[in-house]
Amino acid sequence: MISGTRLKQLIRLIFGRLFITRLLIRSILVSLIFPLSSLANAESLDDAWRLALSGNFKIKGAQQQELAADAQLASANAERLPNLALVADYLKMDKSPRFEGKFGNNIPFAVSYWDKESTYYSASSTLPLYTGGRITADINAAEAQRSAAIANTSHSISSVKMAVGKAYINVLRAQSAVGLTKSHVKSLTSNQTDVENLLNQGLVARNHLLMANVALADAKQQLLQANHHSELAKADYNRLLNRTLDTEFLLEPLTFAELTLPLEELSNQALTRRDDIQTLKHRSEVLNQNANIAKSVSKPQFGLTGMYLHQDNRINVNNDVFAANVSMIWNVFDGGVSRHQSNQLQRQAAAIRAQEDELTGVVKLQVRKAWLALQAAHERESMTSINIKQAEENLSSSKNRYQAGLITNTEVLDAENLRVRAHHHHNDASYDASLTLLQLKHAAGIL
């Protein structure tokens, strides 16, 4: 024979399962009707990168530096070409200059050789023949500066993409935490209802309901905190995309292709692909070429000049003159200024090379740390997947045993907390895997 108490417990168990079944059916129907329309307008990570890069002021500044470097290179190349100068002068004197003298019989004479007023027009062109390597070094410096500007822009783009990717993952993580906390509140609300029904029937003590109420209140507080963190994550994401902080959006789930390259190859690639390392290389080359420019000042400078001169002077017979000359300027001694300037620039280049060596070690460490973190995240994903299944089974078993009067409500609450913790750990592992994969790509210079 089944006792009356046992019969009541079985009836409650059956109706409780029917209620849960109805809730599941409703959830499935809602998910089938609404998800496709909501995901149709969801943003992907590529969309986020495009929006962020289009309006980022740091990148705009780097692109302007590229344009400035292009102009500098064009200016350096133009130094090889001959220049052309046009000159116009007007001269007025208080008296005409003249020669004075005496003939053989002491007869004085005076002859003016220039008009009191005259105008001059000239056109001249100078072609540098030899500058001691100054023009070549100037062009090389400009090319290195342009390469440094391009590398700096690429590094800025990669940094922005990394920041946006991290914010994207933080939003997904926060929204997942909100959803999980809502399920926690829902589960504890159902538990509170069950305990209250049992209390009304005199089957459990009042402290069971008090524990259920406290657990539910704590879960609701966790939901408030989760919503707060989600709003902060969305505001940070909107800021990076140059939007108002309260802009509403939907995000697509992340899907990344795994990196199959071994750690050693990733480290080697990073040393050749990292734009911040390349920027330092090019900056060092700029300083070395500037040192060569400083050295060239102490070398002889040769130039070829052609000129046409026209003057309105009534006294001169030939007012149109053509001339050509080869000139040399050699600053034999300047007190050691050019030598000291060259040494200064070479020391600055050596300092940047030392920074490059330091950065090389940092990059290797970044790649290794990201690679190890990625492996650990994947292992955590596998472990937490098993934990979720066990936690769900444990909660279901605990609820059944509680409905049968075999355990107290404390064990049900503990089982629910274990379930939520297992889901949190799995979500953290999954999003950590996505984040560390982005960090690994960024560290290897392939983001």
Is the pTM of the predicted complex or chain greater than 0.85?
no
The percent of residues above 70 in pLDDT, for the chain, comes to 90
Q: Which residues in 65-205 belong to E strands, given as ranges?
A: 83-92, 98-102, 108-112, 117-130
Does residue 74 have a pLDDT over 80?
yes
pLDDT of residue 32: 39
Q: CA-to-CA distance for 274 and 266, rounded, in angstroms?
A: 11
pLDDT of residue 175: 95
**Predicted confidence (pLDDT) per residue in 343-357, tens digit:** 999 999 999 999 999
Backbone φ and ψ for 146, nearest 5 degrees, come out as: -65, -45
CB 320 within 8 A of CB 385: no
pLDDT of residue 268: 92
With a CB cutoff of 8 Å and minimum separation 6, the contacts of 245 are 235, 238, 239
Q: Pick from 237, 236, 234, 242: which is nearest to 54 by CA?
A: 242
pLDDT of residue 40: 56
pLDDT averaged over the chain?
Answer: 86
Q: CA-to-CA distance for 109 and 100, rounded, in angstroms?
A: 6
CB 69 within 8 A of CB 142: yes
**Which of 21-25, 158-162, 189-193 has maximum average pLDDT?**
158-162
74 against 10, higher pLDDT: 74
For the ranges 136-150, 192-206, 367-381, the lowest mean pLDDT is seen at 192-206
**Which of 14-18, 70-74, 99-103, 261-265 has maximum average pLDDT?**
70-74
The mean pLDDT of 241-247, rounded to a whole number, is 92
One-letter amino acid of 220: K
SS3 324: strand
CB 447 within 8 A of CB 370: no
The mean pLDDT of 319-347, rounded to a whole number, is 90
**Predicted confidence (pLDDT) per residue in 376-395, tens digit:** 999 999 899 889 999 989 99
Instruction: Kindly state the tokens that stand for 404.
Output: 């049968």
Backbone φ and ψ for 139, nearest 5 degrees, come out as: -65, -45
Which DSSP string do the residues of 222-238 spell out, in sequence order? HHHHHHHHHHHHHHHHH
Q: Pick from 237, 193, 192: which is nearest to 213 by CA?
A: 192
The mean pLDDT of 365-380, rounded to a whole number, is 94
- The secondary structure element, H or E, covering residue 55 is helix 45-55
Q: What is the DSSP letter of 258?
A: P
170 against 110, higher pLDDT: 170
The mean pLDDT of 269-293, rounded to a whole number, is 94
Does residue 124 have a pLDDT over 90?
yes
